[in-house]
Structure 1
């Protein structure tokens, strides 16, 4: 089942249950949202979760592209991507978590054919402010799915203030042995679907007040689910990365961790540029600049002649089509090549700075901070420029 089939199955299942499909937004959140990028499908829906009527009704479904900078250092493992797609559903004051989890179980086991014995769930155990999520616990117990009760891991919020609530997460076993332990005890349990019972608003003082309506907000990671359904062990092996894994190794000889980072960061950079972001020293532009320069640092670590001009057009076309973007591939390529030229000038300046007597010995934290703050040289670049 390829990713397009997964999307169709998901959307049609919820449309048959009264959900209207809404168009996913770009990676740029609404102006009032403090985050740099859309990190989940709920960002564009915040006003409706807070009580404003949605023009398409109380039951919604969509596919949303997301970017999470908090996972940058984890990219390269089996589950984390910088830019990814999230399948989402919402009940805006309509049905509650029990119904949502029941549908989730049915879709996974009947629609996608997941063995129920490979499922594990988690649920909120309560804290000093709110009680335990007994409804979710009962849903899983009725279906024979093991449940782990946690507190911090099963409370979802959109930041220090705003909509929040307890959640129940669904995990799939990806190990080559029979399932064992629990999601917090074994990372072979991979989270694929989070159901948030969004009933509260956190205020500036940390207190909770009820939202005007009781919502359900769910998010299912498309690439993670596709990976499991396709019998793969890593998101970098699912079908959306097929052209990347076919074409990039033919350009550059890379070990597996480096190949994953290069594919993820270049793919993410194309999507970010496709949504209108340009490299800069702050904000969204800095995230894009960091992605591109991390790729260039890896590529030139073993061969300074490697460059982005060699990237095949197919990778640009495939990625832009995958994320439903209309920008011309040549326009995206130009942004990447312009940033590569800036990086080249930074490298030359970095070599000159590091040749100074002060930096010939071991570098201290003070040295690394100075090089970054004064000369714009990040520590991973400094290490790559130092003689081996």
Structure 2
């Protein structure tokens, strides 16, 4: 178990949790089924962690016989953002508020749905973006809102098999979410709860170290432990970086990793004079020592 002592982090969890509850209530008031997924365990074997709320629904997008609409909150983790954390807008782990409609809701329905939800938060986008190829067809969907529309050729999405154009929502220079139109017949919406919390409640962003710590906590709470490969290796890498940055975790996994690194460092220094020309791969394969980590 982790024992929390940081008041700021407690406040952030409470406000974000309240926002997720507001979204759930809003969906249910519209007759839309809602589910919460607090674990970052992936729903298929294409990723180490759940990276998007739509992951578990991918087969339904491609099934022309399926029709329906669901919503969820999904804990996500994207290690690709590791070098961007600390800038106030990138998080390694976050909660995605999702809406997924398979040949039922139109794009206009989805836009109205989200603008309606943002109103309940007292929030109106500063502007939205649309791909130039869709400006003529999609701009009228924002008629009467008074929201400026900006063309953006980056407004496309693809998972490698399914693709579509999208429209993105911005507030205070931050993209708070987007609505994708996969295959031209479906709806895939994702809004980041933490980014919404920042602009709605003024919750300060985590520092890089705080993000590393909370991400490690999330991985552990999702049932993983440090190891030499896959999810365990990611966790070990995070624990190591936290230690190198002068941070700490109140958990046995962190204590064990610090000691493991201390022993590896001692072993490397002892053996280096005997093997000065050996490559990093040799050190790892032969002694399990990661030179870069030292």
Query: How far apart, CA to CA, are the structure 1 residues paired with 2:248 and 2:212?
Result: 14
Name the CA shift for 1:138/1:285 in 2 (closer, same or farther; >3 Å).
Answer: same
Task: Establish whether residue 38 from structure 1 lines up as the match of residue 22 from structure 2.
Answer: no
Give the aligned partner of residue 111 of structure 1.
Answer: 120
Superposition deviation, residue 156 in structure 1: 1.1
Indicate the residue corresponding to 2:179 in structure 1: 195
Query: Which aligned pairs between 1:222-241 and structure 2 lie closer than 5 A?
Result: 222-232=193-203, 234-236=204-206
Q: Secondary structure at the match of 1:2?
A: helix
Which is worse superposed, 62-71 or 90-99? 90-99
Who is 2:262 aligned against? 344
The size of the alignment, in residue pairs, is 280
Label 1:144 to 1:338 Cα distance change in 2 as closer, same or farther (>3 A): same
Give the Cα–Cα distance (whole angstroms) in 2 for the partners of residues 334 and 25 of structure 1: 22
- Provide the residue aligned with 2:290 in structure 1: 377
Q: Offset of 1:106 from its aligned partner? A: 2.4
- Tell me the distance in 1 between the aligned counterparts of 2:91 and 2:291: 22
Post-superposition shift, 1:279?
1.9
3-state DSSP of counterpart to 1:286 = helix
CA root-mean-square deviation:
2.8
Within 5 Å, give how 1:282-297 maps onto structure 2. 282-297=229-244
Shift of residue 141 of structure 1?
A: 4.7
**What residue ranges of structure 1 are gaps of 5+ in the alignment?**
127-131, 174-188, 201-213, 237-259, 300-305, 312-332, 360-365, 383-388
Output the TM-score relative to the length of structure 1. 0.65
Aligned-pair CA distance for 1:133: 5.1
1:149–1:356 distance in 2 versus 1, CA, 3 Å: farther
Q: Call closer, same or farther: CA 1:215–1:368 in 2, change over 3 Å.
A: same
1:118-168 residue CA offsets vs partner (Å, 9 max, x unmatched): 511111223xxxxx25443222354221222122x211112xx22221111
Q: Choose 79-88 or 338-347, whichever is displaced more.
A: 338-347
Task: For 1:96 and 1:76, locate their aligned partners in 2 and report how far apart those are by CA, in whole Å.
Answer: 37
The equivalent of 1:99 in structure 2 is 109
> Among residues 28, 34, 38, which one is paired with 2:41 in the alignment?
28
| Whole-Å separation in 2 of the counterparts to 1:261 and 1:290 | 15
**Do the aligned partners of 1:25 and 1:44 also contact (CA within 8 Å) in 2?**
no
Please state how far the C-alpha of 1:66 moved relative to its aligned partner.
0.3
Partner secondary structure for residue 165 of structure 1:
strand
Tell me how far 1:373 sits from its aligned partner: 7.5
The 3 A distance-change label for structure 1 pair 307 and 119 is closer
TM-score, scaled relative to structure 2? 0.84
Greater relative CO (CA pairs within 8 A, separation 6+): 2
Tell me what 1:171 maps to. 170
